[in-house]
Amino acid sequence: MDPYPSSSALIAQKTWELENNVITVDTPPTSTNSTADASSDAIFYYDETAQAKFQQDRPWVNDPHYFRRVKISALALLKMVVHARSGGTIEVMGLMQGKTDGDAIIVMDAFALPVEGTETRVNAQADAYEYMVDYSQTNKQAGRLENVVGWYHSHPGYGCWLSGIDVSTQMLNQQFQEPFLAVVIDPTRTVSAGKVEIGAFRTYPEGYKPPDETVSEYQTIPLNKIEDFGVHCKQYYALDITYFKSSLDCHLLGLLWNKYWVNTLSSSPLLGNGDYVAGQISDLADKLEQAENQLAHSRFGLLIAPPQRKKEEESQLAKITRDSAKITVEQVHGLMSQVIKDILFNSIRRSSRLCTESSGPEPMVES
Amino acid sequence: MSSSSSSGLTFKLHPLVIVNISDHYTRVKSQMNPPVTSTATTSSSSTTTNNSNGSGDGGVTAVSAAAPPPRVYGCVIGVQRGRIVEIFNSFELLYDPVTHSLDRAFLEKKQELYKKVFPHFYILGWYSTGSDAEEFDMHIHKALMDINESPVYVLLNPLINPAQKDLPVTIYESELHVIDGIPQLIFVRSSYTIETVEAERISVDHVAHLKPSDGGSAATQLAAHLTSIHSAIKMLNSRIRVLHHYLVAMQKGEIPCENSLLRQVSSLLRRLPAIESEKFQDDFLMEYNDTLLITYLAMFTNCSSTMNELVDKFNTAYDRHSRRGGRTAFI
């Protein structure tokens, strides 16, 4: 075994980058060269005249579906996730700075706003106007020239979508502050699932009917929020998110791995997210009860029940099954980490039984 | 100028700070050297304020770095609890290279803004880019000493050296040493560890490494999860091998015996098994069984859902034959 696993990690990284459209900036997607040269950092350059021209042209006025993609920088993502997580179970919000590029909105940086509980009122941003102005001014002085290009907020534990209040806020923003983007992050699900839960949205203007049925990825919504989700889910559309980083970022992040592989090994999601999982399971139980009631009703109405009714129940039960599968998968992943750590660090005295125990999920009982 | 620090403070650095500094540097550098595709009318010198020579010529291609890489300056903030200094975040500062002075008003303004959002963080020191600590850095260091009596200096080397295996970030502290009879402040190096919260780790992993961007199937999620653990274990293995080689060489006599290192290795080995108590076994098994229970329940739900579908399909298929009577529902 080679002492430095760089070659296989590099291959794996390239495969992943190819699959997930992580382009080291401005190079065509086919060349996933992680050690990019200086020209690929071109995205960091802020071209004031081009931006001003774009603002004047305003091509989004005629096409509500104009912006289709979002490119988020590594720094912005890190800042947003850390801020969202630091809020715990309280919703927090902040603003994103960046620029536009054709049909893509580029987010270069993000900063937090001292506002909390953003799901209770439209335009919670009003509280923080002074902060926003001050911050933007100091930023311009320090050399960050981009303008505010969107806002982000967190939905701790209940998924990435826009609530009714969010939709009203965003519609207001899109009337007066174009181009503007709404990003939602779920820090609890991020930690629980081990991958970043993030969504970028833009609303349609009032009364606009989207031309095709946008098929969005299914996500579990807790029972108390599902109405809010359903009522408004047609009023906005999701944009594709890709990430980018500079060549220096690449280099540093690669080296960072040398130091924090320890944290990867030592993370224990099972312990960290216990109450979230419990909440999910109780929510699932409520949904099951609801589904059961619906089923009971339809039994008597079987003869006159239109086929749609049956389809709905089926898909409800199927949804519940999918939710339960998701919870289970996350739990099993967490348990796998725990078991691996146990084998690695605890089984010194049980070395004779190592070979039999590392297979199948039998409970490890000391006889 | 740099020897080991003796202050006894442990430093913990968050990856966010590193990405922040790198982003600041990249921004300033790219504003200075506009990419070839842009028109030559933009003058970058009017916008940037903290690089030593503003090259306003738009004809500079990005590849030929006409100007030497700029130095950027900023402040690091975080928390200090007893002997542990944890650096969480950072922001930019304005520095005038001509007069070698910091813009105090700016610093205070920024500090106020950051206090509102992160009320627990204090200014712990400052950062800069470059390959080594320089003479003038001490001026900035001293200027910051009235905010924090012993600030830290984080230095990032932005030159990309592919042969490098270690993070090009060094943390310096200042110590009073007597040199030539004059007590002087000099920079001494300190060691640090990288500390992250779970969310930070996942997003750094996401941007840097091997995680799929969206749900994917359960198989890809499993693969991603196991791959990351696998890489971590590989690192662990390689490190242990290095130690092993070293010890073997020491045994053969190729390398002189170093007792302190041997002591450390011995104490490390003695820490295995990590936990071994009755209570741990019980809790571990309970957790294990809980997860198995959840899997069992999920299976049940899946089965009942499939059953339900089957029953409904059956009903639909055979509905014609049995009209309004005698139809007992399957329970």
ipTM of this complex prediction, to 2 decimal places? 0.75
Q: Which of B236, B282, B295 to mutate to test the interface with A (most CBs of A within 10 A)?
A: B295
Report A:44-103 residues touching B (Cβ under 8 A).
44-50, 73-75, 77-79, 81-85
Single-letter code of the amino acid located at A169: T
Q: Which residues of A touch B33 (CB under 8 A)?
A: 38
- On whether any CB of chain A is under 8 Å from the CB of B64, the answer is no
pLDDT in tens, B221-230: 788 788 888 8
CB pair distance less than 8 Å for B211 and A85: no
Answer whether A252's CB lies under 8 Å from B167's CB.
Answer: yes
Confidence of residue B146 (pLDDT cuts 50, 70, 90): confident
CB pair distance less than 8 Å for A252 and B65: no
Answer whether B159's CB lies under 8 Å from B134's CB.
Answer: no
pTM exceeds 0.90 = no
Q: How far apart are CA A294 and CA A309, in angstroms?
A: 9
Nearest CA in chain A to B162: A251
CB pair distance less than 8 Å for A255 and B199: no
Q: Taking the CA atoms of A280, A281, A283 and A284 in sequence, report the sign of the dihedral they define.
A: positive
B208 → closest Cβ in A41, A134, A257: A257
Answer whether A280's CB lies under 8 Å from A334's CB.
Answer: no
Q: How far apart are CA B152 and CA B11, in angstroms?
A: 9
The pLDDT of residue A89 is above 80:
yes
CB pair distance less than 8 Å for A249 and B292: no
Q: How far apart are CA A351 and CA A347, in angstroms?
A: 6
Q: How far apart are CA A78 and CA A202, in angstroms?
A: 22
pLDDT in tens, A313-322: 557 788 888 8
- DSSP letter assigned to residue B4: B
Closest to A109 (Cα-Cα) out of A82, A147, A141? A147
pLDDT in tens, A233-281: 888 888 888 888 888 888 888 788 777 777 778 777 777 778 888 888 8
Q: Which residues of B touch A269 (CB under 8 A)?
A: 198
- On whether any CB of chain B is under 8 Å from the CB of A42, the answer is yes
Report B:275-294 residues touching A (Cβ under 8 A).
275-276, 281, 284-285, 287-289, 291-292, 294
Q: Which of A252, A316, A339 to mutate to test the interface with B (most CBs of B within 10 A)?
A: A252
Q: Which residues of B touch A253 (CB under 8 A)?
A: 15, 19, 204, 207-209
Answer whether B127's CB lies under 8 Å from B21's CB.
Answer: yes
The pLDDT of residue A229 is above 80:
yes
Confidence of residue A354 (pLDDT cuts 50, 70, 90): very low
Token pair recorded at residue A355 = 């070979």
Closest Cα in chain A, distance from residue B107 (Å): 10
Report A:187-226 residues touching B (Cβ under 8 A).
187, 190-191, 193-196, 217
Percent of chain A with pLDDT over 70: 73
- On whether any CB of chain A is under 8 Å from the CB of B120, the answer is no
* Cα B20 from chain centre: 10
Q: Taking the CA atoms of B69, B48, B146 and B14 in sequence, report the sign of the dihedral they define.
A: negative
- On whether any CB of chain A is under 8 Å from the CB of B45, the answer is no
Q: How far apart are CA B83 and CA B6, in angstroms?
A: 12
- On whether any CB of chain B is under 8 Å from the CB of A120, the answer is no
Return the pLDDT at A216.
60
Token pair recorded at residue B291 = 């997860």
Confidence of residue A152 (pLDDT cuts 50, 70, 90): very high
Torsion of CA A285, A291, A293, A297, to 10 degrees: -170
Q: Which residues of B touch A317 (CB under 8 A)?
A: 304-305, 308-309
- DSSP letter assigned to residue B45: G
- On whether any CB of chain A is under 8 Å from the CB of B130, the answer is no
Q: Which of B11, B16, B109, B117 to mutate to test the interface with A (most CBs of A within 10 A)?
A: B117
A256 → closest Cβ in B15, B25, B164: B15
CB pair distance less than 8 Å for B19 and A74: yes
B152-156 and B122-129 strand pairing: parallel
Closest to A106 (Cα-Cα) out of A29, A190, A26? A26
Return the pLDDT at A119.
67
Q: How far apart are CA A330 and CA A258, in angstroms?
A: 26
CB pair distance less than 8 Å for A253 and B212: no
- On whether any CB of chain B is under 8 Å from the CB of A248, the answer is yes
Q: Which residues of B touch A334 (CB under 8 A)?
A: 291
Please measure the distance between the N-terminal and C-terminal CA atoms of chain B and give it in whole angstroms: 83
The pLDDT of residue A121 is above 90:
no
Token pair recorded at residue A58 = 């305003």
The pLDDT of residue B198 is above 60:
yes
CB pair distance less than 8 Å for A196 and B206: yes
Closest to B76 (Cα-Cα) out of B11, B164, B158? B11
Q: How far apart are CA A235 and CA B288, in angstroms?
A: 44
C-alpha Rg value of chain A to the nearest Å: 24
The pLDDT of residue B82 is above 70:
yes
Token pair recorded at residue A240 = 């594709």
Q: How far apart are CA B102 and CA B95, in angstroms?
A: 5
Q: Which of B71, B154, B170, B209 to mutate to test the interface with A (most CBs of A within 10 A)?
A: B209
Return the pLDDT at B36.
57
Mean pLDDT across the stretch A207-232? 74
Q: Which of B14, B17, B26, B318 to mutate to test the interface with A (most CBs of A within 10 A)?
A: B26
Single-letter code of the amino acid located at A70: V
The pLDDT of residue A183 is above 90:
yes
The pLDDT of residue A356 is above 70:
no
Closest Cα in chain B, distance from residue A179 (Å): 22
Please measure the distance between the N-terminal and C-terminal CA atoms of chain A and give it in whole angstroms: 36
Mean pLDDT across chain A: 75
